[in-house]
Amino acid sequence: MKNLILFTVLVLAACTNSVKKEQIQMTDLRPTESNIQAAIDSLVKKHGVAFQFPIQKGVRHTAALWTTSDGNATEFIGFCQSNFLADQKKKQLLFEKLSIYLESLEGHFNKITLDLRQNVDLNNGELLDVDKTFSGYSVGAHLQDDLYQNKIAFVVALNFPYFTLEDKERDGKNWNRRQWAEARLGDQFVSRIPAEVNQAVAKAEADADLYISEYNIKMGCLRTEENTQLFPDKMSLLTHWNLRDEIKADYADKDKGLTKQKMIYEVMQRIINQDIPARVINNPSYVWKPFSNKVFENNTEIDAAAEPDTRYQQILNNFHAQQAVDPFVPEMNTLIKRKFSGEMEIPVEEVEALFDNFLKSPELAKVGRIISERVGRPLEPFDIWYDGFKARSSFPQEQLNSLTTKKYPDPMAFEKDMPNMLGHLGWSKERAAYLAARIVVDPARGSGHAWGAGMKGEKSHLRTRIAPTGMDYKGYNIAVHEFGHNVEQTVSMYDVDYYMLHGVPSTAFTEALAFVFQSRDLMLLGLNGQNKDQERLNALDNSWTLMEIMGVGLVDIHTWQWMYNHPNASSKELKQSVIQISKEVWNKYFAAILGMKDQPILAIYSHMISNPLYLAAYSYGQIIESQIEDHLKGKNFPDEIDRVYKQGRLIPQIWMQGATGSKLSADPILKQLNEVLK
């Protein structure tokens, strides 16, 4: 479930549609070194050597953003002389006013974007072309250029310059809250991206998101080769989320579960290979036999053309849109760098090394053997989603569906129950009401997601799929996950001391709390579900699910690395490469554990299409969740959650030190797994 709270990236990295050609080409734009030094020398002379470091840093950062369209050398020097603030009271007042203005801009743009996307994101009936067009419109597309033209961006750059990740890691542990907030203000202006470029990014992402949100498989239309129907008539599963969750649910079906899982896996392979017949996607008018790939209409076999590599064209569209951004962010000139060193604030090399180290752990093969014993057969590729360690696996799916559909017939029922759920988790009645009043529940068109408020006074949005018959267990499980996101979004917006520190270090940290909530879904239904060995079973489950999500994260990373090495690839070439990459990752880490080679299943995740390079956040989210859960033992749950998430948007390692007293590491998961396996 993707978390859509990173609206700031679009809002504060956008410009006008009337960007001049010479600006886009980035030619002859920067002040010379002599201009920069002249500005520094004049300011040091005026304010004294005590201000030499902030002067140098501020002037050089301003120069990195200044172009010939902003003024000549004399005007650049004059701007620096007139706008650098050595008076700390005036600087504090400037910071406070900028925070107010930026909160208003971001918050209202966030609200407008929600309004423009509502018919695409929510189950509001038929979609019109105008809905799709507005959903891809970047409402903040003029903001950054305006802020450069009126010189506000340069005032920020000069007085609150950008600190690199290395700076923050080295010095941040000694900063106070105010210094951190000022550093985050400096993060707002690190590049100048033309609006037409940013608009293309927004459109590519919106198109891909819409493509995925309508990619349903009508399960009641599937047949075995013997013409047997395995799934209910009206079952419609979104790829990949619902298909995967159905595989998980089918472990409880001792009669037809394995047969259903094999059919779903065949469907997934058809999607990955793009030989799925185009007309069976989101269409209940045809009967489809996935194993032979035959399509029938009125009991007569018909010709059915395959989907024309559309899945991979969506990835390419996102890639080409991001390519156009690259020249305007010299220090992070690929989406890979922007996502990891920028958004996650963890270099991709560290991510790959951590994943590689964990996936090579010999303990994972032992877990695989335990699963094989539990299911009573050799493992299948889809057993990467084995769900039998979880407490809910002891309850039949029908029982859970019956309970959730009755309890939550519509979004309002879930919304009304949120204060009670928070009360069950330990929050006081007053605090629970405070948090719940700032969250609204919407029926999602696609899979569930959470969308945070952009300012105080607005609400976070919880989206989950709700059928006309009510919220089934899958929808409920997703809703509880998104509820965790919303609680984080509310605490880290309303209870953080500085607006510039609102949020969390990266999406991985909001995923962590979503996982913490999701693991308590049965308890919130009033079901115990825990047995005396549940803690040990949780250790097995955590390691197995982390293995799976790390694998798909590596496929996502390696796909983008391949595209940057092959920028002119066709959708067909990309398809072949993604399939090959998924098999290579499988063979390197999974083949020995599951007992078969050359499986493409790791390429099924829809995030690769609609939310590029997001998947690694889930792995870090799970690692963070494990550390937080370990930290919570013996402590007051709501008090600690509130304390931890009030830290706001520090960098990951400093946030984790403040939250749990230790740095990010998968070692605690492996340590717990070793103890269980003994």
DSSP count for the chain of H helices, then E strands: 32, 8
pLDDT of 550 > 90? The answer is yes
pLDDT of residue 391: 67
State how far the Cα of 481 lies from the Cα of 496, in Å rounded to an integer: 22
Cα–Cα distance list, 139 to 39, 111, 113, 179 (Å): 36, 10, 7, 31
643-647 contacts at long range (C-beta below 8 A, 24 or more positions apart): 645/487, 645/488, 645/491, 645/492, 645/495, 645/504, 645/513, 646/491, 646/492, 646/495, 646/496, 647/496
Chain-centroid distance of CA 92 in Å reads 34
According to CATH, the topology of domain 396-524 is Collagenase (Catalytic Domain) (3.40.390)
Give the DSSP H/E element, type plus range, for residue 102: helix 88-121
Mean pLDDT (whole number) for 537-556: 95
pLDDT of residue 395: 81
pLDDT digits (tens, 9 = 90+) for 485-502: 999 999 999 999 999 999
* Tokens found for residue 77: 């020097």
pLDDT of residue 74: 94
Cα–Cα distance list, 337 to 39, 328, 571, 636 (Å): 31, 13, 23, 38
Ranking 134-138, 546-550, 606-610 by mean pLDDT, the lowest is 134-138
> Using 50, 70 and 90 to split pLDDT, how confident is the model at 291?
very high
End-to-end alpha-carbon separation of the chain, Å? Answer: 34
> Using 50, 70 and 90 to split pLDDT, how confident is the model at 393?
low
More confident residue, 328 or 223: 223
pLDDT of residue 631: 92
State how far the Cα of 488 lies from the Cα of 508, in Å rounded to an integer: 12
State how far the Cα of 667 lies from the Cα of 658, in Å rounded to an integer: 18
**DSSP of 596-627:** -----GGG--THHHHSTT-HHHHHHHHHHHHH
Strands 300-302 and 439-443, by their bridges, are unpaired
pLDDT of residue 397: 83
What dihedral angle (degrees, nearest 10) is formed by the CA atoms of 624, 627, 633, 639? -40
Give me the chain's average pLDDT, please. 91
The answer to pTM > 0.75 is: yes
State how far the Cα of 647 lies from the Cα of 505, in Å rounded to an integer: 9
- DSSP code of 221? G
Residues present in the chain in total: 678
More confident residue, 398 or 497: 497
pLDDT of 45 > 70? The answer is yes
Mean pLDDT (whole number) for 334-353: 94
State how far the Cα of 193 lies from the Cα of 552, in Å rounded to an integer: 30
> Of 493, 420, 427, 431, which is closest to residue 460 (Cα–Cα)?
493
Contact 613, 335 (CB under 8 A): yes
Measured CA angle at 536 (ends 531, 537), to 5 deg: 70
pLDDT of 10 > 50? The answer is no
pLDDT of residue 529: 53
Contact 318, 200 (CB under 8 A): no
Mean pLDDT (whole number) for 573-586: 98
State how far the Cα of 579 lies from the Cα of 577, in Å rounded to an integer: 5
Contact 368, 379 (CB under 8 A): yes
pLDDT of residue 209: 92
State how far the Cα of 473 lies from the Cα of 466, in Å rounded to an integer: 10
> Using 50, 70 and 90 to split pLDDT, how confident is the model at 141?
confident
Mean pLDDT (whole number) for 462-484: 91
Ranking 106-115, 386-395, 493-502, 525-534 by mean pLDDT, the lowest is 525-534
φ and ψ at residue 291, rounded to 5 degrees: -70, -40
pLDDT digits (tens, 9 = 90+) for 306-317: 999 999 999 999
141-172 burial, b if ≥16 CB within 10 A, otherwise e? bbbbbebbeebebbbbbbbbbbbebeebeeeb
Contact 439, 491 (CB under 8 A): no
State how far the Cα of 268 lies from the Cα of 179, in Å rounded to an integer: 49
Ranking 19-28, 244-253, 336-345 by mean pLDDT, the lowest is 19-28
pLDDT of 513 > 60? The answer is yes
Mean pLDDT (whole number) for 378-404: 88
State how far the Cα of 599 lies from the Cα of 589, in Å rounded to an integer: 12
One-letter amino acid for residue 459 of the chain = K
pLDDT of 136 > 50? The answer is yes
pLDDT digits (tens, 9 = 90+) for 63-81: 989 988 999 999 999 999 9
Contact 113, 7 (CB under 8 A): yes
pLDDT digits (tens, 9 = 90+) for 71-127: 999 999 999 999 999 999 999 999 999 999 999 999 999 999 999 999 988 888 888
Give bridge partners of residue 230 from the DSSP assignment.
Answer: none
pLDDT of 401 > 80? The answer is yes
> Using 50, 70 and 90 to split pLDDT, how confident is the model at 245?
very high
Give bridge partners of residue 442 from the DSSP assignment.
Answer: 463
Residues 6+ apart with CB under 8 A from 88: none
pLDDT of residue 194: 83
Mean pLDDT (whole number) for 23-43: 77
Directed axis angle between helix 397-407 and helix 473-494, to 10°?
Answer: 50
pLDDT of residue 433: 98
> Using 50, 70 and 90 to split pLDDT, how confident is the model at 530?
low
* Tokens found for residue 663: 């740095």
The share of the chain scoring above pLDDT 70, in percent, equals 94
pLDDT of residue 7: 34
Ranking 75-79, 194-198, 582-586, 629-633 by mean pLDDT, the lowest is 194-198
Q: Reduced to 3 states, what is the DSSP secondary structure of residue 299? A: coil
Domain ranges of the chain: 7-193, 215-273+275-308, 315-388+532-633+648-677, 396-524
pLDDT of residue 635: 95
State how far the Cα of 70 lies from the Cα of 22, in Å rounded to an integer: 13
Contact 583, 599 (CB under 8 A): yes
State how far the Cα of 301 lies from the Cα of 440, in Å rounded to an integer: 47
pLDDT of residue 135: 87
Cα–Cα distance list, 123 to 1, 76, 206, 284, 465 (Å): 17, 52, 16, 18, 8
State how far the Cα of 552 lies from the Cα of 591, in Å rounded to an integer: 14
pLDDT of 54 > 60? The answer is yes
Helix, strand, coil shares of the chain as percentages rounded to 5? 65, 5, 30
